[in-house]
């Protein structure tokens, strides 16, 4: 019989505009962590909203699901429509999409590292909360760093606008390709931005090397047990098993690093199943062949992870030379493949930033990139289609089915963060186990849990919202009768 539960600790990341999430930590009789429940609000009614609409609206509708990665939904939707309308884009259309997507990756990974993940390391995990933000990074690395971050965002947003047709919610990708090509003048601008991106990515890796890797305390933290879990890893790979964000096969490797399965995106239902917990409406995807074994790691648990770290683990290397060098250094430094340290995801993200920049430059200088032949006009009766890309936060899959008129009859999305619900829960549990002993809650719990969250760069609501602030957290410690005996908060307005 399991030990009776003494206390319940609630960590409450309340958000006004992104809804209301909750973490509950249950202790056993000895005051040690027994279980962790992680709940977040889910947007309701997306499928119902879409059914009955023309399928070709999906690249514009789905890019409004998420204010953080509209470009990823735009691409996944367009790819699903290519298959649904049986219209394979011409090579220049695919290259233009990937060029667009590479510019998006540069902005997204840059923002995450400098505004969110980086502050924990660049400024330091023990620094006062008020300094652990992008301002703290600027103070530590210099004003020049801030200018580089802002300019990188600015110029890549301009590239996204040029190719995507609009700044925030792109419109250019259509079934069968793109609605418009780029001209030589635009290409030259994009090439210049790509060259600057490569320099910026190399500089960012140098910052990481100087500030994080040369500090043994930080390296020890990355390697610590509280941030280590041995799970399966998923990522898209090209024909050479190299990381690709836009296209390829889905490859999954085991905790030992060996290939477990490689499948085409439209076969996903054969390989991925979804587990439902009685306390939550969240669905936890897992590897069907292994099965759901609860929130535990190891080769017998079907839990898998889809993050920058996962993509590096799931591939045999990077398709561009400087990123490949960084990839080799990563594994040489962290003890070989695969790496199971979730905080190493920040480093993996910077390696992906370099790859995105190099790939962008390759595509911007491709002789075919200004070809006017960017679209295959659909002529066949629509049926069904699946489109998968690597969103910055994980493998993103759109699945649509229509009637013969192209009216949607089925819509299913597995968004990046959903893949990671189970490993995030396990990470929170491990972080809690590291700081809660004998019923005593260490002051570091909020920070530990936040750092565990942040390495995944999770998208809690996959929704477009506004006026973001710091993540508010609330820890409530309750005794056996439900009375509050301790309460810790940050960023909660009173």
Partner 1 sequence: MKTLVIGLGNPLLADDGVGVYAARLLRRVLPPDAEVDVLELAVGGLELMEAMIGYRRVILLDALWSPDGEVGQVVHFHAGHLPDTMHSASAHDADLPTALRVGRRLGALLPADEDIHIVAVKAREVLTFSQTLTPAVAEAIPQVVRLVLDLLGCAPALDPYDVPFISIGGWDDLA
Please report whether residue 133 would count as binding partner 1 according to CB under 8 A: yes
Interface characters, 63-82, with partner 1 (x: CB under 8 A): -xx-xx-x------------
Please report whether residue 18 would count as binding partner 1 according to CB under 8 A: yes
DSSP state of 42: -
3-state secondary structure of 308: helix
Please report whether residue 356 would count as binding partner 1 according to CB under 8 A: no
List binders of partner 1 among 173-192 (CB under 8 A): none
Minimum CB–partner distance for residue 473 and partner 1 (Å): 10
CB under 8 A: which stretch of 109-117, 247-255, 364-372, 438-446 binds partner 1?
A: 109-117
- Closest to 286 (Cα-Cα) out of 264, 261, 309, 311: 261
Residue nearer to partner 1 on the CB measure, 64 or 329: 64
- Please give the Cα distance from 108 to 389 (Å, whole number): 15
Residue nearer to partner 1 on the CB measure, 42 or 362: 42
Minimum CB–partner distance for residue 349 and partner 1 (Å): 13
Binding residue (CB under 8 A) for partner 1 from 91, 125, 146, 299: 146
Please report whether residue 116 would count as binding partner 1 according to CB under 8 A: yes
- Please give the Cα distance from 58 to 69 (Å, whole number): 15
The tokens describing 163, both together, are: 């190719």
CB under 8 A: which stretch of 141-149, 233-241, 293-301, 320-328 binds partner 1?
A: 141-149
- Please give the Cα distance from 314 to 318 (Å, whole number): 11
- Please give the Cα distance from 261 to 254 (Å, whole number): 9
Please report whether residue 171 would count as binding partner 1 according to CB under 8 A: yes
- Please give the Cα distance from 425 to 37 (Å, whole number): 7
Please report whether residue 91 would count as binding partner 1 according to CB under 8 A: no
CB under 8 A: which stretch of 2-10, 196-204, 359-367, 467-475 binds partner 1?
A: 467-475
Contact 290, 211 (CB under 8 A): no
Three-state SS annotation for 323-381: HHHHHHHHHHHHCCCCCCEHHHHHHHHHHHHHHHHHHHHHHHCCCCCCCCCCECCCCCC
Q: What are the Cα distances from residue 285, in Å, to 4, 41, 142, 227, 272? A: 30, 17, 42, 21, 6
Q: What are the Cα distances from residue 299, in Å, to 45, 229, 273, 291, 311? A: 36, 11, 17, 11, 18
Binding residue (CB under 8 A) for partner 1 from 464, 488, 489, 490: 464
Q: How many residues sit in the footprint of partner 1 (CB under 8 A)?
A: 60
Please give the backbone phi and psi of residue 440, each rounded to the nearest 5 degrees, phi first.
-95, 125
Binding residue (CB under 8 A) for partner 1 from 5, 6, 61, 213: 61
Minimum CB–partner distance for residue 463 and partner 1 (Å): 6
Binding residue (CB under 8 A) for partner 1 from 15, 156, 419, 455: 15
Q: Please give the residue ranges that form the binding site for partner 1 (CB under 8 A).
A: 13-19, 41-46, 48-49, 60-61, 64-65, 67-68, 70, 111-112, 115-116, 133-135, 138, 143, 146-147, 150, 153-154, 157, 168-169, 171, 453-454, 457-461, 463-472, 491-493
């Amino acid at each position: 019989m399991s030990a009776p539960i003494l206390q319940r600790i609630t960590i409450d990341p309340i958000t006004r505009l992104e809804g209301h999430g909750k973490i509950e930590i249950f202790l056993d009789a000895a005051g040690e962590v027994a279980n962790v429940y992680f709940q977040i609000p889910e947007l309701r009614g997306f499928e119902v909203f879409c059914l009955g609409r023309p399928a070709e609206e999906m690249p514009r509708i789905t890019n409004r699901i998420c204010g953080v990665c509209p470009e990823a939904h735009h691409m996944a939707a367009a790819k699903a429509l290519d298959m649904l309308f049986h219209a394979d884009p011409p090579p220049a259309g695919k290259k233009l999409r990937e060029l667009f997507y590479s510019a998006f990756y540069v902005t997204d990974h840059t923002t995450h590292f400098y505004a969110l993940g980086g502050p924990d390391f660049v400024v330091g995990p023990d620094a006062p909360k008020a300094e652990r933000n992008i301002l703290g990074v600027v103070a530590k690395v210099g004003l020049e760093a801030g200018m580089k971050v802002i300019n990188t965002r600015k110029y890549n947003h301009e590239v996204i606008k040029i190719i995507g047709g609009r700044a925030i919610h792109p419109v250019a990708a259509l079934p069968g390709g793109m609605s418009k090509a780029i001209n030589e003048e635009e290409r030259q601008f994009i090439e210049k931005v790509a060259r600057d991106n490569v320099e910026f990515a190399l500089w960012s890796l140098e910052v990481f090397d100087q500030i994080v890797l040369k500090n043994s305390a930080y390296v020890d933290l990355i390697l610590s047990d509280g941030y280590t879990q041995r799970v399966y890893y998923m990522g898209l790979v090209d024909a050479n098993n190299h990381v690709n964000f836009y296209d390829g096969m889905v490859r999954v490797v085991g905790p030992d690093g060996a290939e477990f399965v490689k499948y085409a995106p439209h076969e996903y239902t054969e390989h991925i199943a979804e587990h439902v917990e009685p306390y939550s409406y969240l669905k936890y995807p897992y590897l069907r062949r292994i099965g759901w074994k609860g929130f535990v790691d190891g080769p017998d648990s079907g839990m898998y992870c889809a993050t920058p770290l996962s993509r590096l683990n799931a591939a045999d290397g990077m398709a561009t030379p400087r990123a490949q060098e960084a990839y080799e250094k990563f594994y040489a430094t962290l003890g070989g493949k695969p790496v199971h340290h979730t905080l190493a995801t920040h480093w993996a993200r910077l390696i992906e930033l370099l790859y995105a920049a190099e790939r962008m430059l390759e595509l911007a200088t491709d002789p075919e990139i200004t070809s006017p032949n960017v679209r295959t006009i659909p002529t066949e009766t629509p049926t069904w289609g699946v489109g998968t890309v690597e969103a910055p936060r994980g493998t993103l899959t759109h699945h649509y089915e229509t009637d013969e008129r192209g009216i949607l009859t089925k819509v299913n999305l597995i968004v990046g963060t959903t893949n990671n619900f189970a490993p995030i829960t396990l990470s929170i549990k491990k972080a809690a186990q590291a700081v809660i002993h004998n019923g005593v809650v260490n002051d570091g719990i909020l920070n530990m849990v936040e750092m565990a969250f942040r390495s995944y760069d999770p998208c809690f609501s996959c929704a477009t919202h506004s006026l973001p602030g710091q993540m508010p957290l609330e820890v409530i410690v309750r005794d056996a009768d439900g009375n509050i005996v301790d309460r810790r908060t940050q960023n909660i307005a009173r």
